[in-house]
Amino acid sequence: MVNLQNVERWGRFELALSGPTGGNPYVDQSLQGEFRCGEHVVKAPGFYDGDGIYRVRFMPDREGEWSYTISGSVPELSATGYFNCLPPTGGNRGPVGVSCAAQFAYADGTPYYPFGTTCYAWIHVDEALQTQTLETLAQSPFNKVRMCVFPKHYAFNSADPDHFPFAARQGGGFDLERFDPRFFAKLERRVADLEALGIEADLILFHPYDKGRWGFDALGAETDARYLRYVIARLAAFRNVWWALANEYDFVKGKSIQDWERLLEITAASDPYGRLRSIHNGTKMYDHASVKLFDHNHPAITHMSAQHWDVTLPPIWHTAYGKPIVVDECCYEGNLPQRWGNITGQEMTRRFWDVVARGGYCTHGETFVHEHDVIWWAKGGVLHGESPARIAFLRRILEEAPESARRIPEVNDVPTLGVEGVYYLQYFGIHRPAYRVLELPEGVYFKAEVIDTWAMTIRPVEGLLHGSVRVDLPGREYIALRLTRVRA
């Protein structure tokens, strides 16, 4: 069987083979593809998709002619062939990775600034709501979604989804040795929908929101590993997939740090593309003396996905780990009784700015009381809050900054992002100075703009600045100052 396809770079090549249906193909059979482009070889795992269909999915990372050889546990699961890899089209800039400078960048070199949001269980609700979520995301500033593979059993989340990752067992419960391809088809469709919107899917592989209801937080080591490999075989070829090994890992009873390290290593070893890998903490945010986080120096961790409400910490973590820092939970805009879910839009916006001005990235979530418990943070739907518009404004400001802008630690009284002598973005947050004295280099001229990050206004300061100069500020909260060098 020979397949002739054109595939764009960082797109997906997929091959389907018919194979055995007897026994338990999920466990009994295996297949993998070897893909070659010149001297460059990539091995990609295949998977059983039910109904006697086996698939191998592959993301080619360079243009040109690729050959492949599929081989499996039985002779039917073999194939060879060729395809052409063409230049990327549309918004396809390749997968996001970590750049040399410990920042994120697309594979084509374009910087990627994560402005994520959280919709943990959005694929586990009815179709109409999923469609609405996608429409909302399309209009939003968000370019990353934190979302769970497993369904969620938690406050405001009580319904069963239509399908589960594991096959139902007659008489109840799950057959943990068989997957449900219908579930994965849905998941893949939604990941592809996000891909089409240019949104990264930060896929949460394990989480603690189960507590005996389905048992997905306590599957046992062997099932955990089989599940991981199956998810990776199916989804790693989607260029917008990130592996979030767990959400609030420390809330999962019965898994130790060593277990997480093992699962992380399986994830890294099973994924041909080296997708981004993180693990997200739960508690221990307040007792500073006893903060015990997963050691993010682990070589298989690509970036830190932190939960913390103290948004001044990213520089410390950045120094400790030398990896990008994403504060993936810093509380949510809303009015739930739970303290993690009831901050104002001002506070959410402030936390974004306070993190970004320190060289990290921040993730949004929204949790307003709703008569049918349709809360964005879990189920998606529509956004009600005041922060998304301001997050869009911040994203615009950051995208206007020089690519090489970084936190400038020498400015130690105000978080400042910039390029020395060229560009500075200072954020005053809850502080409201009436003025600021700047010490700029002599002989170089800067234009200054006073940014009201809440009102979303940018007011130019009259004249050009140089040397030691005092800039009057509005004396309100949430002000930033942008200095851009101009030709004198």
E runs forming strands in 269-377:
277-278, 304-307, 325-329, 333-334, 361-362, 366-367
Q: Compute the least distance from the CB of residue 337 to a second copy, in Å.
A: 4
Contacts of 52 (CB under 8 A, 6+ apart): 18, 19, 20, 21, 25
Contact set for a second copy, span 259-278 (CB under 8 A): none
Determine, following the binding rule CB under 8 A, whether residue 432 of this chain makes contact with a second copy: yes
Total number of residues that touch a second copy (CB under 8 A): 31
Give whichever of 83 and 427 is closer to a second copy, judged by the CB atom. Answer: 427
342 touches a second copy by CB under 8 A: yes
* Binding residue (CB under 8 A) for a second copy from 2, 128, 289, 488: 289
Give the closest residue to 349 by CA, choosing from 362, 335, 367: 362
Contact between residue 308 and residue 287 where contact means Cβ atoms under 8 Å apart: no
Least gap, CB of 99 to a second copy (angstroms): 27
Three-state DSSP at 239 gives coil
Residue pair 43/272 in contact (Cβ under 8 Å)? The answer is yes
DSSP state at residue 172: S
Q: Does 374 bind a second copy (CB under 8 A)?
A: no
Of the ranges 35-43, 59-67, 213-221, 432-440, which one interacts with a second copy (CB under 8 A)? 432-440
Give the range of 124-132, 176-184, 223-231, 433-441 binding a second copy by CB under 8 A: 433-441
Site for a second copy in 308-327 (CB under 8 A): 310, 312-313, 316
Distance of closest approach, residue 344 Cβ to a second copy, in angstroms: 6
Q: Please pick, from the candidates 6, 18, 297, 335, the single residue that binds a second copy as defined by CB under 8 A.
A: 335
Judged by beta carbon, residue 90 or residue 337, the one nearer a second copy is: 337
Quote the CA–CA distance of 290 and 305 in Å, as a whole number.
19
Whole-angstrom Cα distance, residue 408 to residue 183?
Answer: 46
Q: Which residues of 109-139 are buried (b: 16+ CB within 10 A; e: fewer)?
A: eebbbbbbbbbbbbbbbeeebbebbbebbee
What is the DSSP secondary-structure string of 358-396? TT-EEB--EE---TT---HHHH------SHHHHHHHHHH
173 versus 475: smaller Cβ distance to a second copy: 475
CA within 13 Å, CB half, 394 = 35
Scan residues 437-466 and list those touching a second copy (CB under 8 A).
437
For position 171 contacting a second copy by CB under 8 A, the verdict is no
- Site map 344..373 versus a second copy, x via CB under 8 A: x--x---------------------x----
By CB under 8 A, name the binding residues for a second copy: 286-289, 291, 310, 312-313, 316, 335-339, 342-344, 347, 369, 413-414, 430-437, 475, 477
